[in-house]
């Protein structure tokens, strides 16, 4: 029985194979004998190490050959020979009317189209392609920057910019110590918002931040105020004086709730890192070299979706320049992640931001003046280096102090930071951030 089944299966397989063979033979026969297709099966610069990984697509319907991923900016293509493979050929391949031979070099600088014609082995068929050799026309890793025609608020002193529901909100203090508030939906035209009430003292504008459904700010006297609408502010009750507010950290699953992160002075006047939920929880004592004012800070999220805050430069509690970069994930403990080796980063009023996965620092001032140099850290603040010339924001020709920066997947926007009543706005981007995604 088993032998019979096995024999039957073998016969069935043999029969199917014969049918397929007949079908294939019929499909590849024509009335004039064997059909020799003239299509290309491969085109590329395989013999050149820097270019061999750039694939060329062969579109036999559109009669095009092209590389969807452009060759690097500045690639030398004036003396290259392609590797060409065909389904069949009588070796009568021409490029722009000239006979092409294997390893024959030609100039591809124009990018095309170059007309490539191949004839089938039997000489009865031909295929004509338009070949395009695409190169980046600009350096993808260069930064372009330019001023934006905007009527930014003419603030004095320190400013704070918040982005809330796609609206921009600029805050600063008036000469009478009241809170000024302007808003914009495009960053170009700004209008004054309603006056705020309930605040007093010398406001620490840099402490203004969001927490849950409210906004918080401290004054130099250590009082903290909260609001839901920026109009009505209420002083919060608390046993401690608030010395700094750094923003909100989202709770991690099974570990903690959302919390407002800051620095408070205990009943003995000692400074502590702290987190605020409904009341303050004290953490480690603040080291003497931790930035307490005029620092640059930024908030981001790890690849495992954990919030963290980074702080660098600025002044310590005794007025010295802070020389370290610090980071926290819970607000109770801050880790010193670097010691700045360069005296170039002894700054106050610098601005920090993430863009394209890297951390940047720009501007600031010290006793020698104000600056607009851009520094970059590729490891979240552990090491800093002066950015290459091609990455510097060259449209900014003056020093920046306390500029506010907003970034997205494409652009960097710089608001204010310049001296004088005409506060400026700039925009910048790395060229490759605007390239079409393929």
Which DSSP letter does residue 63 get?
T
Residues 6+ apart with CB under 8 A from 18: none
CA distances from 279 to 228, 242, 270, 275, 401 (A): 18, 12, 18, 8, 34
Q: Rounded to whole angstroms, how far apart are CA atoms 139 and 252?
A: 41
| pLDDT tens per residue, range 49-68 | 999 999 999 999 999 999 99
Q: Is the pLDDT of residue 243 over 50?
A: yes
Q: What is the mean pLDDT of residues 277-282?
A: 93
**CATH 2.60.40.2340 for domain 33-137:** yes
| φ, ψ of residue 146 in degrees (nearest 5) | -160, 150
Strand-strand pairing, 94-95 and 98-99: antiparallel
Comparing 91 with 355, the larger pLDDT belongs to 355
Q: Rounded to whole angstroms, how far apart are CA atoms 349 and 358?
A: 20
Q: Is the pLDDT of residue 202 over 50?
A: yes
Residue-level pLDDT at 36: 77
Q: Rounded to whole angstroms, how far apart are CA atoms 316 and 288?
A: 7
Residue-level pLDDT at 132: 97
3-state helix, strand, coil in the chain (%, to 5): 10, 40, 50
pLDDT-based confidence at residue 123 (cuts at 50, 70, 90): confident
Q: What is the mean pLDDT of residues 144-166?
A: 95
Q: Are 243 and 265 in contact (CB under 8 A)?
A: yes
Residue-level pLDDT at 262: 97
Comparing 47 with 438, the larger pLDDT belongs to 47
Residue-level pLDDT at 3: 43
Q: Is the pLDDT of residue 23 over 80?
A: no
Residue-level pLDDT at 326: 95
Concatenated DSSP letters for 232-279?
B-EEPP-SSEEEEEEEEEPPPTTT---EEEEEEE-TTS-EEEEEESSS
Element holding 414 (H helix, E strand): strand 412-415
* Cis omega (within 30 of 0) for bond into 113: yes
Q: What is the mean pLDDT of residues 400-422?
A: 96
Q: What is the mean pLDDT of residues 159-188?
A: 95
Q: Is the pLDDT of residue 386 over 90?
A: yes
- What is the distance of C-alpha 247 from the center of its chain? 21
Residue-level pLDDT at 85: 94
Task: Name the average pLDDT for the chain.
Answer: 90
Q: Are 257 and 251 in contact (CB under 8 A)?
A: yes
Strand partners, 67: none
Long-range Cβ pairs for the range 418-426 (8 Å, 24+) = 419/370, 421/154, 422/154, 423/152, 423/153, 423/154, 423/155, 424/147, 424/148, 424/150, 424/152, 425/147, 425/148, 425/150, 425/152, 425/187, 425/188, 426/145, 426/146, 426/147, 426/148, 426/393, 426/395, 426/396
Residue closest to 135 by CA, chosen among 45, 37, 234, 24: 45
What would the two tokens of residue 287 be? 């080291």
| pLDDT tens per residue, range 258-273 | 999 999 999 999 999 9
Question: Among 20-29, 39-48, 116-125, which is the least confidently predicted range?
Answer: 20-29
Residue 64 CB burial class (10 angstroms; 0-12, 13-18, ≥19): middle
Q: Is the pLDDT of residue 90 over 60?
A: yes
In the chain, DSSP finds a helix count (H) and a strand count (E) of 1, 36
What percentage of the chain has pLDDT greater than the value 90?
77
Residue-level pLDDT at 19: 45
Q: Is the pLDDT of residue 30 over 60?
A: no
- What are the DSSP E strand ranges found in 97-174? 98-99, 114-119, 126-132, 143-148, 160-164, 167-173
Strand partners, 272: 264, 285
CA distances from 297 to 293, 310, 350, 375, 392 (A): 11, 6, 9, 14, 20
Residue-level pLDDT at 13: 52
CATH number of 143-434: 2.120.10.80
Concatenated DSSP letters for 291-317?
--BS-EEEEEE-TTS-EEEEEESSB-T
Residue-level pLDDT at 21: 45
**Alpha-carbon dihedral of residues 95, 97, 99, 104, nearest 10 degrees?**
-40
Residue-level pLDDT at 24: 40
Residue closest to 340 by CA, chosen among 352, 326, 323: 323
pLDDT-based confidence at residue 188 (cuts at 50, 70, 90): very high
């Amino acid at each position: 029985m088993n032998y019979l089944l096995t024999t039957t299966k073998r016969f069935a397989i043999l029969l199917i194979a014969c049918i397929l063979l007949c079908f294939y033979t019929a499909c590849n026969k024509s009335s004039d004998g064997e059909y020799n297709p003239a299509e290309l099966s491969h085109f590329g610069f395989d013999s050149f190490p820097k270019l061999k990984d750039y694939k060329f697509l062969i579109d036999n319907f559109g009669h095009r050959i092209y590389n969807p991923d452009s060759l690097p900016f500045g690639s030398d293509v004036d003396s290259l020979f392609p590797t060409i493979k065909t389904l069949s050929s009588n070796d009568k391949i021409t490029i722009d009317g000239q006979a092409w031979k294997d390893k024959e070099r030609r100039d591809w600088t124009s990018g095309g189209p170059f007309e490539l014609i191949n004839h089938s082995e039997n000489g009865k068929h031909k295929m004509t392609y338009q070949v395009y050799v695409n190169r980046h026309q600009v350096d993808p890793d260069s930064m372009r920057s330019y001023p934006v025609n905007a009527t930014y608020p003419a603030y004095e002193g320190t400013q704070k910019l918040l982005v809330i529901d796609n609206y921009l909100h600029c805050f600063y203090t008036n000469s009478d110590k009241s809170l000024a508030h302007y808003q914009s939906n495009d960053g170009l035209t700004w209008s004054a918002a309603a006056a705020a009430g309930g605040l007093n003292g010398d406001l620490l504008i840099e402490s203004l931040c969001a927490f849950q459904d409210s906004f918080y700010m401290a004054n130099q006297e250590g009082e903290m105020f909260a609001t839901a609408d920026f109009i009505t502010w209420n002083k919060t009750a608390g046993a401690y004086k608030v010395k700094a507010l750094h923003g909100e950290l989202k709770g991690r699953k099974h570990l903690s709730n959302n919390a407002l992160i800051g620095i408070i002075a205990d009943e003995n006047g000692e400074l502590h890192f702290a987190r605020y939920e409904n009341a303050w929880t004290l953490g480690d004592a603040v080291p003497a070299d931790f930035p307490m004012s005029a620092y640059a800070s930024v908030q981001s999220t790890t690849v495992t979706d954990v919030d963290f805050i980074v702080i660098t430069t600025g002044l310590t509690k005794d007025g010295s320049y802070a020389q370290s970069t610090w980071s926290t994930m819970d607000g109770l403990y801050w880790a010193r992640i670097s010691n700045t080796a360069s005296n170039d980063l002894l700054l106050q009023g610098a601005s920090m931001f993430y863009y394209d996965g890297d951390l940047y620092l720009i501007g600031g001032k010290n006793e020698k003046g104000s600056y607009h140099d851009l520094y970059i850290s590729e490891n979240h603040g552990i090491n800093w280096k002066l950015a290459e010339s091609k990455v510097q924001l060259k449209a900014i020709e003056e020093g920046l102090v306390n500029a506010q920066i907003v970034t997205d997947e494409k652009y960097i926007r710089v608001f204010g930071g310049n001296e004088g009543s005409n506060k400026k706005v700039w925009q910048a981007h790395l060229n490759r951030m605007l390239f079409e995604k393929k």
